[in-house]
């Protein structure tokens, strides 16, 4: 849609330029917004950090003197100093902020799923290295579904590092750069044991928790256990809002304290379990009953907070919400730790899964650049 619409006509007054689009949409573009977004050589681009125009040098009452609309461009001469700005129709359309239908068309696709999801977004490692469409799919699938399965990474111990270097920046924590999930004689954390682990987000005790989690299966359990399970936390939030709107509302508001004590650090976060953006859409979920510590909310909210959390965990643990996959040697599972809860069944014997994390912003930023480079937008499954 953003690619094809052209400008049919434009009118203006001191407050704004009003554009009629060829597909029937219209946009009101305010004078301050337009003037601020002039990207001529004198003003300099916003996007590369080399902006020369100072926001406070624009007069409060900035207004167009003349406006010339062509199908593919809009030219504005400004009344105060005669400065000339030319905008492409494509740029205006991509950034138009009203009405809602146009704003929504800029949003990345999110597909919310439950246990009925049969088609897992999947990529092949050798194709990721040679084909930008496959590479885009890896990044955009995690933005859309919260996860992607990668096949063909092999079983070398440094395979996960090669993968991480291709897709983002490794994040180092007290676990180190890499963590080997194996059965340990002296377990430090629950993952060191072979027992089942319920759906959770990792490291909820951090304000900036694990970003993109990567599990690389080097050796699956010979008994067929250790099955990976994923739950869409957006779906958990959606169900909670349907079943118990007050509980949902409470969990978007009250702090839930998580804490992790390690040798020289006491890491604590105090964020709501469900974080919303400015439009009320769920953007981050933190659910992990193992890292929760003493909750501190107002006295008159404690009972409701516990009830709401228990309802949320009940939904998250429902078998109907989860998908399951038994990773084979050479498989890697990548997921957004703030979108998807992960779990695994218990296992026996000698299993080896290597874990690391890459930072979230850079991982998603590569997906956006690859969408632009390939000209592919929309669902990776389309
Ligand atoms: Fe975990
Ligand atoms: Zn300019």
- Ligand lying closest to the C-alpha of residue 42: 2
Per-residue pLDDT of the chain (382 residues; tens, 9 = 90+): 445 789 999 999 999 999 999 999 999 999 999 999 998 999 998 888 888 999 999 999 999 999 999 999 999 999 999 999 999 999 998 888 877 767 766 778 999 999 999 989 999 999 999 999 999 999 999 999 999 999 999 999 999 999 999 999 999 988 899 999 887 767 677 767 778 899 999 999 998 878 899 999 999 988 888 899 999 999 999 999 999 999 999 999 999 999 999 989 999 999 999 999 988 999 999 999 999 999 999 999 999 999 999 999 999 999 999 999 999 999 999 999 999 999 999 887 788 999 999 999 999 999 999 999 999 988 998 7
**Has residue 112 been placed in a domain?**
no
- Ligand lying closest to the C-alpha of residue 214: 1
DSSP state of 337: T
Burial of 29 by CB count in 10 Å (0-12 exposed, 13-18 middle, 19+ buried)?
buried
Ligand 1 centroid from CA 379, angstroms: 27
Provide the CATH number for the domain around residue 31.
Answer: 3.30.2020.30
Q: What is the pLDDT of residue 141?
A: 98
Nearest to residue 353, comparing CAs of 332, 322, 338?
332
Same domain, 309 and 189: yes
Where in the sequence is the domain holding 177, given as residue range(s)?
Answer: 122-374
In angstroms, rounded to a whole number, what is the distance separating the alpha carbons of residues 8 and 208?
A: 46
Element (H, E) at 374: helix 360-374
* Contact criterion met (CB below 8 Å) for 67 and 75: yes
- Ligand lying closest to the C-alpha of residue 45: 2
Ligand 2 centroid from CA 193, angstroms: 62
**Has residue 67 been placed in a domain?**
yes
Which residues lie at CB < 5 A from ion ligand 1?
A: 202
Tokens 């912003």, residue? 361
Q: What is the pLDDT of residue 1?
A: 42
How far is residue 76 CA from its own chain's centroid?
A: 37
Same domain, 68 and 165: no
**Has residue 1 been placed in a domain?**
no
**Has residue 382 been placed in a domain?**
no
**CA–CA distances in Å: residue 58 to residues 11, 54, 96, 160:** 22, 7, 21, 50
β pairing state of 179-181 and 256-262 = unpaired
Ligand 1 centroid from CA 210, angstroms: 10
- Ligand lying closest to the C-alpha of residue 58: 2
Ligand 1 centroid from CA 51, angstroms: 42
Q: What is the pLDDT of residue 2?
A: 45
Provide the CATH number for the domain around residue 369.
Answer: 3.60.130.10
Same domain, 129 and 93: no
Ligand 1 centroid from CA 140, angstroms: 22
Ligand 2 centroid from CA 356, angstroms: 45
Q: What is the pLDDT of residue 338?
A: 96
262-268 long-range contacts (CB < 8 A, ≥24 apart) are 262/174, 263/174, 265/174, 267/205, 267/206, 268/205, 268/293
Same domain, 198 and 318: yes
Same domain, 100 and 181: no
Tokens 């933005």, residue? 143
Same domain, 156 and 57: no
Number of compact structural domains in the chain: 2
Ligand 1 centroid from CA 373, angstroms: 34
Ligand 2 centroid from CA 36, angstroms: 8
In angstroms, rounded to a whole number, what is the distance separating the alpha carbons of residues 4 and 23?
A: 9
- Ligand lying closest to the C-alpha of residue 210: 1
- Ligand lying closest to the C-alpha of residue 189: 1
Ligand 1 centroid from CA 231, angstroms: 13
Ligand 2 centroid from CA 11, angstroms: 21
Q: What is the pLDDT of residue 3?
A: 58
């Amino acid at each position: 849609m953003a690619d094809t619409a052209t400008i049919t006509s434009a009118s203006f007054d001191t407050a704004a330029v009003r554009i009629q689009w060829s597909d029937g949409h219209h946009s009101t573009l305010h004078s301050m917004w337009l003037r601020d977004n002039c990207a001529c050589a004198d003003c300099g681009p916003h996007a590369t950090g080399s902006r020369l125009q100072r926001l406070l040098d624009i007069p409060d009452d900035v207004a167009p003197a003349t406006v010339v609309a062509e199908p593919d461009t809009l030219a504005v001469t400004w009344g105060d100093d005669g400065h000339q700005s030319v905008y492409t129709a494509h740029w205006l359309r991509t950034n138009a902020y009203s009405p809602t239908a146009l704003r929504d068309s800029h949003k990345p696709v999110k597909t919310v799923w439950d246990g009925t999801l049969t088609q897992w977004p999947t990529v092949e490692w050798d194709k990721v290295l040679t084909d930008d469409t496959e590479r885009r799919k890896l990044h955009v699938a995690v933005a859309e579904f919260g996860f992607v399965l990668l096949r063909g990474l092999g079983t070398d111990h440094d395979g996960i590092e090669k993968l991480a270097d291709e897709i983002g920046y490794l994040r180092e924590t007290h676990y180190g750069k890499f963590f080997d999930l194996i059965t340990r004689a002296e377990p430090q954390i629950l993952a060191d044991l072979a027992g089942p682990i319920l759906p959770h987000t990792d490291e909820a005790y951090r304000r900036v928790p694990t970003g993109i989690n990567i599990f690389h299966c080097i050796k699956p359990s010979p008994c067929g256990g250790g099955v990976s399970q994923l739950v869409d936390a957006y779906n958990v939030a959606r169900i909670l809002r349907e079943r118990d709107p007050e509980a949902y509302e409470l969990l978007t508001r009250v702090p839930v304290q998580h804490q992790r004590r390690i040798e020289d650090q006491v890491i604590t976060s105090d964020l709501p379990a469900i974080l919303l953006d400015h439009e009320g859409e769920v953007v981050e979920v933190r659910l992990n009953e193992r890292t929760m510590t003493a909750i501190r909310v107002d006295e008159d909210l404690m009972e409701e907070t516990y009830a709401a959390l228990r309802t949320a965990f009940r939904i998250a643990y429902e078998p109907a919400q989860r998908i399951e996959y038994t990773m084979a040697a050479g498989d890697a599972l990548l997921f957004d730790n703030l979108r998807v809860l992960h779990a695994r069944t218990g296992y026996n014997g000698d299993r080896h899964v290597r874990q690391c994390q890459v930072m979230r912003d850079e991982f998603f930023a590569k997906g956006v650049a690859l969408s632009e480079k390939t000209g592919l937008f929309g669902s990776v499954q389309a």
